[in-house]
Amino acid sequence: MRVSVPNIPDAVLRTAAEQQVKVSAAFALDRLSRFLARGDVAVLTGAGVSVDSGIRAYRGNKGSYLNPNYKPIFYHELMDPSAKGVAFRQRYWLRSYLGYQPIREAQPNPTHFALAALQYSSVTPHIITQNVDGLHHKAIRDVWDDAKRAKAILELHGTLHSVKCSHGHQTDRDTFQDMLGAANPGWKAYLEELERTNSRPRTNPDGDVVLPEGTRYDQFVVPECPSCLLEDRRNSTQKPEVIFFGESISAEVRDRSFNIVDAHQKLLVIGTTLATFSAFRLVKHAVQRRKPVMVLNVGPTRAHELAGIETVEIPAGTVLPEVVKHILGSTAERDPVIAKMLESGVVKTPPDDYDDAVPRPTGL
């Protein structure tokens, strides 16, 4: 299945707005605790989960794009071997070069740590995430090794922390970031100046930034794949290991996502409008299998198209840590791992707008 540009039908937005009922924290605590009490729950998360970590979501509380001019790069554009593809890659990698560091430095927020505590306690053994920021991994990496995290956390749309060329060679993103800086010393100096003056561009969920009109992309150099050079091949066609619009999710990832839903009694959906079909179809699948589904989100979601789904409209970070304490009881205090998780998490919610305050680069 290819990932298309996500959309919520206008009829769904109107219906959801009419039915929108915000609830109290006490009500949300009760409903979520009841839903999770017996465990065996799969979790599906989206961009809303990472907002408190300083990473903006694509959509606001009304379900519409925060950036009305949002225009993604498609997979076929990014991988096009022609001069047109070179231009798309220059545009993408410049924006990504400037936007990656905030993603790399982002830290889990209380929602990530609450979910990590539920995973560690086997209440919610598996997380399927649409996010590409790696924050679910960061929240539990102190107690689970790479192999255990890879088994328990499925990154449905890939990860920003790795790069792959068109011949399948992989490069660690930190290494590739250094390569981009070395190939573009002027932009490296510009990025260092932004960091020095705390004027970083605001980063989008997919790790790029919006630059001022008139930015020259055509002079940005995308480095050659080092492994291809060792094979006497020049190749600068590289992309992060993220599923772009128009790109197919691998059969392995697709099958794993359905298997996780099938393996659990219930599905809890957090922080997503379900506008992307790869996520929405998992919810439809759960409903078709007569599994209880609960959505924890602020604003309309495509779940409103489906019957029998309970929606709790409240920010996850305001209630999930208390839900964990309620479910686990004294264990939440006695177990040092869980206690530390429930005391952890940053809260640095970004502004809910797309104003660009980045200084215009000079001579670039």
Residue 355 · residue 209 · CB < 8 Å: no
Tokens (6 digits) for 81? 């071997």
- Angstrom distances, CA of residue 262 to CA of 108, 126, 152, 163, 291: 28, 12, 15, 31, 9
- What does DSSP assign to residue 323? H
**The one catalytic residue among 112, 157, 169, 264:** 157
Q: What angle do CA 222, 223, 227 make, to 5 degrees?
A: 140
Q: How many residues are listed for the chain in this entry?
A: 364
Residue 167 is a catalytic residue: no
Which residue blocks in the chain are alpha helix, DSSP H?
10-19, 25-36, 75-78, 83-105, 110-120, 135-140, 146-152, 173-183, 185-196, 226-230, 251-263, 277-288, 320-328, 331-334, 336-342
Residue 88 · residue 73 · CB < 8 Å: yes
Residues 6+ apart with CB under 8 A from 292: 35, 265, 266, 267, 310
Q: How many Cα atoms sit within 13 Å of 310 on the Cβ side?
A: 15
Task: Provide the phi-psi class of 209: left if phi over 0, else alpha when psi is between -120 and 50, else beta.
Answer: beta
Residue 166 · residue 235 · CB < 8 Å: yes
SS (H, E, C) 254-274: HHHHHHHHHHCCEEEEECCCC
DSSP lists the bridge partners of residue 164 as 170, 239
Q: How many Cα atoms sit within 13 Å of 198 on the Cβ side?
A: 0
By annotation, the residues acting in catalysis are 157
